[in-house]
Structures are given as structure tokens and as C-alpha cells.
Amino acid sequence: MLSTSHIFRNPHPGIAVLLVFTTFIGTAVMNFFRSSMLIEFSFDFWLGPICIGLASWLINVILVYRSRYLLSNYLLGWSWWCLLIALTDDPLTWKQSLLSIGAAIWLAITFELGDERKTPLRTRSNLGFVAALLGLSYPSLLSLLAPSVVSLSVGLKTEVKAVLQVSLAWLLPILLYVFFLIFSFGQFQMFNFDFIGTTSFRWPFIGEYIILAWGVFAAAQTLKALVNAKKPKRRGLLLSWLGIGYAMVLAVFFPEGDEYIPMLAVFFGPHLVNLKDYIHPKKLRYWLTPTLVFAAIVELVI
């Protein structure tokens, strides 16, 4: 949905520095205005912007140069940042950057399953390990095993062996963690979590309305793309929707947490970039960044 003349499509190495600098300064400014407390420009204040700036570059490295998820330059990191600031009216933190990087790694590994040159056992084991580690950090993400297993059938042959490999690799770190807690006489603090969904309601943010509108539009465009796109891109589009659906489920069943925000930004950003060649009318490709930045500005003012 972004034009081919977008600045972050420039392959010059200096554009990567510009991306990190822009997201770093932009995050610092937004955190300053979003914070309800008196700001002290200490290391704690700058930690969030630094991590967000580096994450905007690293997400691009993981998805583009590691897994070849799609051939782009720095649009993925930029779209992720725009979505992140539009999905919340709270200051951005280093935790969101780490969770976003973890989600990008999960998406990259999942996409690699379609590459016959990769060792299946190694890739599937990595997928299970990453899902388990994210679950140990955020208990609600223990459910990430479900989309991990479903991803095995997205454009691939479903095999019981593959499901077992992912599941065992997911289970092993969790068992080791439980074993460590038992013999260290610790308490299961990470697992003292209410997995029963709570019912609460709040009106969506302005940014969420805008992203919802883009999501409805992208759903219709995806159907067209699936007809004309090549197999790798079709798999990428379907995996993105798998991640988007999972993030929305987290938002419904765990409304008190904010895990769904960085995950939705990671999954929806590449999906929008991936659709760029199939958007009609073409003028809509120019509107994504301005609308998301506008949503962030509105959140600051309100």
C-alpha cells in the first residue's frame, strides 16, 4: 500500500540510519506528550525510544534479509512503528520492542517452513522454541502453540510428524522451567495467571478505527492477491492473516494485557506492504502512512 517512491524503499545504507533516528526521535516525542507523570530525561526515559528505534531496523533485518519474507528495504520497520503508535495512547516501552522482535522471529521461521532448502527438523524445532519462550515471557502467549501448529498446513502438506516436532520443541523449555522452579523451591509466578477471559468494554481508539478500516479493505484485496500471486507470496499473505487473527483473539480474551498491540503491528505491517502490487485504485497506496501518523497525532491531542 506504500508507493514505490517511498523514502524507506531507498536501498542506500544511510536510509537504515534515518529509519532508526526517525523512530527513535518520534518515540521520544510521543512518550513525552503521552506520559501523565513529570518527565525526567534519565536513562529510563530514553531506554524505550532507543529500543523502539533499534527494533524498527531489526524487524526489517529479520523478515527481509533472514527469511526473505518479502523483498523490501525498510518499509517493514516503518509500517510496524506507524501501526504501533496508532494502536495505543500509552508511551511505547522496551518490552513492546522485544515482543515485536520475538513475533518477527516467529513469523520469519514460520515462513521458512515453505523453503525446501531449510532443514525441516531444525526449522520446526526453532518455531516451537520461539513460541515457548514468548509464552514464558507473557503467559497469555502460551497459546501461540495453536497458530504455530496451524501454520504447518498453510500452503504445505499437513504431517503428524511436523506437528509433533513443533509441539515437543514447545513443551521442552516449559518443562525445564517447571523443573527448575520445583527444585529451586520457587513459586510459579509466571503461571499465576487468569486464563479465563474477562469481559470488559472500551471504545476503540481513533487509530484502531483507522486500522480496522484498512483491515477490511485489505481483506478484500487479499482475495484478489491470492488468485494472482505466486506461491511464496500467497503463503506470506495467509500467514499474516493467521497472525492478525491470533492478535485479535488475544485482544478479546485478554483485554487487560497489551500483548496483542505489538503482535498486531508486526503481522499487519508486512501484510499491507505485501499487498502493494494488488491495490486498486493505486492512489490508495499513498494513504497508509499519512493516515496512521494522523491517528497518532489525534491520540496525542485527545
Please check whether residue 215 lies inside any domain of the structure: yes
C-alpha cell at 222: 487479499
Per-residue tens of pLDDT for the chain, all 302 residues:
444 556 776 667 788 899 999 999 999 988 888 776 666 667 788 999 999 999 999 998 888 765 555 556 677 888 899 888 888 888 899 999 999 999 999 998 888 887 666 667 778 889 999 999 999 888 899 999 999 999 888 877 777 888 899 999 999 988 888 887 777 655 544 444 444 444 455 666 677 777 777 777 777 777 777 777 677 777 888 888 899 999 989 988 887 788 899 999 998 887 777 766 666 677 776 777 787 778 777 766 66
Please check whether residue 85 lies inside any domain of the structure: yes
Please check whether residue 89 lies inside any domain of the structure: yes
* Cα–Cα distance for residue pair 144/218, rounded to 1 Å: 24
Please check whether residue 179 lies inside any domain of the structure: yes
Please check whether residue 2 lies inside any domain of the structure: no
Please check whether residue 1 lies inside any domain of the structure: no
CB 30 within 8 A of CB 86: no
Domain count, the chain: 1
What is the DSSP code (8-state) at residue 57? H
Q: Residue 120: CA atoms inside 13 Å, Cβ hemisphere, count?
A: 12
If you search the block for the grid coordinates 521520544, which residue do you land on? 28
CB 108 within 8 A of CB 66: yes
* Cα–Cα distance for residue pair 138/170, rounded to 1 Å: 14
Q: Which candidate, 59, 42, 43, 50, places its Cα nearest to that of 8?
A: 59
CA angle 167, 65, 168 (to 5 degrees): 10
Q: Which domain holds residue 186?
A: 7-301
pTM: 0.84
Please check whether residue 174 lies inside any domain of the structure: yes
* Cα–Cα distance for residue pair 231/4, rounded to 1 Å: 23
If you search the block for the grid coordinates 527448575, which residue do you land on? 180
